[in-house]
Amino acid sequence: MARGVSTRTRITFTVIGWLVGFIIFFPILWTVLTSFKSEGAAIATPPQFLFFEWTAENYVEVNSRSDYLKHFMNSVVISLGSTLLGLLIAIPAAWAMAFAPTKRTKDVLLWMLSTKMLPAVGVLVPIYLLFRDAGLLDTRIGLVFVLTMANLPIIVWMLYTYFREIPGDILEAARMDGASLAKEIIYVLTPMAVPGIASTLLLNIILAWNEAFWTLNLTAAKAAPLTAFIASYSSPEGLFWAKLSAASTLAIAPILIMGWFSQRQLVRGLTFGAVK
Amino acid sequence: MATLQTRASARLMMTPAVVLLLLWMAVPLAMTLYFSMLRYNLLMPGMEEWAGFLNYRFFLTDPAFLTGLLNTLLLVGGVLLISVGGGILMALLLDQPFFGQGIVRLMVIAPFFVMPTVSALVWKNMLMHPVNGLFAWIARTFGLQPVDWFGEAPLFSIVMIVSWQWLPFATLILLTALQSLDTEQKEAAEMDGAGALSRFIYIVLPHMARAITVVVLIETIFLLSVFAEILVTTNGGPGVQTTTVTYLVYVQALLQFDVGGASAGGIVAVVLANIVAIFLVRLIGKNLE
């Protein structure tokens, strides 16, 4: 970047860049705009881009018509629950693998990753039947469990790659200075591990929030999170574009913002450190 | 650093994760394997009987399976082509210095965070709708006949939607790889008079090769299980035009309650995914040490 770029080149790329970015972002922008229209304006031809009567009534109606808040809370509980449970199980495991590796650690890690490669549809039938018999169909607990297991390999892997970057020398130095194991963990290790744990938390909330296969197949009216609830708008009884847009905007906004903040971790997390 | 004691406690710390994952994988998979050998339909309880490989024969010789397999390959291949090809171009573009680069970058990666049911419905209704959709309006503006996307080119429409969701992932990974390239190397080549195209072919592309492989393998794993987008847009139709292997198994399991047939299909899906997974696990394993 040190070399000078002519202003003309820069302007050309600015125009192309913004144009391409706008096109890719457009469906999201359009959804947000539509969510502030009346149903009539939403399907008007020619489409109304900015000059329409802005209204917030869709946001009010989305909830009063279909208990949106319940599904939103289902999403919150399921994605937070599965992420926290996953961290609880994964932190000790990743910790052990990073700081006390054995010859088999690598094999265990790769085996864990391979469980993530198992297509969900391969175990759909037994999980469905087991859930039916255990009364777990359409419950938050059941879904928390499934999503925890589905994302556990990713959580372990991400934590492992973060923990491995904590230099062992610092631990040794602390020990030399006479720090006890408890002090070592609380004052030396934890502060260095927190950023990695936070990124893992963020990314897994995103993954769990958007997970659709299990939520569509294992829930109905009661425990359905937003992924499944929004799918109910596909029924042909009528097109409620403005309301669909309002429900969608509310569903994607928190995750979009989280995703923007964690884009760097996303690269490491989803490629398991294979691309740096 | 690892004494006998730390090793023992390390094993203890790993136990819950290992045991739970083992149960999560082995138990249902063993059940699927077992069910796949049974004549077992939920609509006829108590009628289970051993069927051997009959379910596999029915599943594999069902014409819908061949269509499903072909659709799966077309979907995975199409999305890979668009997202990797587009991703390379996007990464090159975002690597150039221009005004508002950071904001454009955020706009480009945004679709990745949109839940699949939302993006499917937004594309289907608000963009691709043959009467009120935006594409229809654009077509009419240019005096063209609007396309009934899901009627005339259903699989292509799904490829478009899924590509839009996965292009950001490819872009982000490839851009990261691109930015780790030594600028000195590029500048040296530029000094030696190498043109932009040959610099791209001989320096940039080889540098990105590894990242491209990673994108291809990871996307393939996820794309083999595309489900929500099909369920909310076409339900696998018209006919079986957008039915994939995953969708076929879902239909047999939860709509026809054919546990045996669905299990055989599930095992077939597992075998397909494993072929890809072997390459991916090897590639990442190499990276470990």
pLDDT (tens digit per residue) in B250-282: 999 999 999 999 999 999 999 999 888 888 888
CA distance A161 to B174: 20
Q: How far is A39 from A239, CA to CA, in rounded Å?
A: 9
Half-sphere exposure of B250 (CA within 13 A, CB side): 22
A275/B211 touch (CB, cutoff 8 Å), yes or no = yes
Tell me the Ramachandran region of residue A55: left when phi exceeds 0, alpha when psi lies from -120 to 50, beta otherwise: beta
Q: Tell me which chain A residue has its CA closest to the CA of residue B288.
A: A106
CA distance A90 to chain B (A): 6
- Could you tell me which chain B residue has the CA closest to the CA of A121? B266
Buried b (16+ CB within 10 A) or exposed e, B39-67: bbbeeeeeeeeebeebbbebbeebebbeb
Query: Residue A240 above 90 pLDDT?
Result: no
Reported as a single tens digit per residue, the pLDDT across A129-177 is 999 999 999 999 999 999 999 999 999 999 998 888 888 777 777 777 7
Helix (H) and strand (E) counts for chain A? 14, 0
The percentage of chain B sitting over the pLDDT mark of 90, rounded to a whole number, equals 64
Residue A258, beta-bridge partner list: none
Average pLDDT for chain A:
88
Q: Compare all CA atoms of chain A with the CA of B126 and give the residue at the minimum distance.
A: A241
Residue B251 is predicted with a pLDDT of 94
For residue A3, the model assigns a pLDDT of: 52
Over 50: is that where the pLDDT of A2 sits? Answer: no
Amino acid at B127: L
CB B117 within 8 A of CB B232: yes
Q: Is the dihedral of CA B114, B117, B119, B125 positive or negative?
A: negative
Please tell me which of the candidates B126, B187, B274 has its beta carbon nearest to residue A117: B274
In this prediction, residue A186 carries a pLDDT of 81
The predicted structure's pLDDT at residue A236:
61
The residue assigned the tokens 């893992």 is: A200
d(CA B26, CA A43): 50
Question: What integer best gives the mean pLDDT of chain B?
Answer: 90
Q: Which residue of B has its CA nearest to A3?
A: B187
Interface contact A121-B28, CB threshold 8 A = no
* pLDDT at site A234: 77
Quote helix, strand, coil % in chain B, to nearest 5.
Answer: 75, 0, 20
pLDDT digits (tens, 9 = 90+) for A175-212: 777 777 778 778 888 888 898 899 999 999 999 999 99
What percentage of chain A exceeds 70 in pLDDT? 96
Query: Considering CB atoms only, which of A27, A244, A255 is closest to B113?
Result: A255
pLDDT tens digits for B86-116? 999 999 999 988 999 999 999 999 999 999 9
| Partner-chain residue, chosen from A34, A96, A259, that has the shortest CB–CB distance to B113 | A259
CB contact under 8 A, B98 and A115: no
Q: Is B210 helix (H, G, I), strand (E, B) or coil?
A: helix
Burial B178-194 (b: 16+ CB within 10 A, else e): beeeeeeebeebeeeeb
Size of interface A-B (CB pairs under 8 A): 312
Nearest CA in chain B to A2: B183
pLDDT value, residue B180: 86
Give B146-185 pLDDT, tens digit per residue.
Answer: 999 999 999 999 999 999 999 999 999 999 999 888 777 7
Return the number of other C-beta atoms located less than 10 Å from residue A127's C-beta. 24
Mean pLDDT of A229-246: 81
Q: If you count them, how many residues does chain A have? A: 276
B17–A93 C-beta distance less than 8 A: yes
User: What ipTM was assigned to the predicted interfaces of this complex?
Assistant: 0.91
Q: Is the pLDDT of residue A266 over 90?
A: no
The answer on pLDDT for A40 being more than 50 is yes
Buried-exposed string A241-258: b where 16+ CB fall within 10 A, e elsewhere: bbbbbbbbbbbbebbbeb
B149 touching chain A per CB within 8 A = no
Find, among B271, B109, B222, B252, the residue nearest to A211 by Cα. Answer: B222
Degrees to nearest 5, angle at CA B61 with B60 and B64: 85
CA distances for A30 relative to A64, A209, B133, B185, angstroms: 24, 22, 11, 43
So what's the pLDDT on residue A166? Answer: 84
Model-level pTM? 0.91
pLDDT, average across residues B19-30? 93
Top residue of A15, A117, A209 to mutate, by most chain B CBs within 10 Å, is A117
pLDDT tens digit string along A80-131? 999 999 999 999 999 899 888 888 888 999 899 888 888 899 999 999 999 9
Which residues from chain A sit within 8 angstroms of residue B172, using beta carbons?
A: 263, 266-267
pLDDT at A225 (0 to 100): 95
CB contact under 8 A, B25 and A10: no
Type and span of the H or E element at A29: helix A7-34
Among B3, B11, B14, B217, the strongest candidate for a mutation testing the A interface, having the largest count of A CBs within 10 A, is: B14
Q: Tokens 């397909």 sit at which residue? A: B272
Q: CA of A71, closest CA in chain B: separation in Å? A: 14
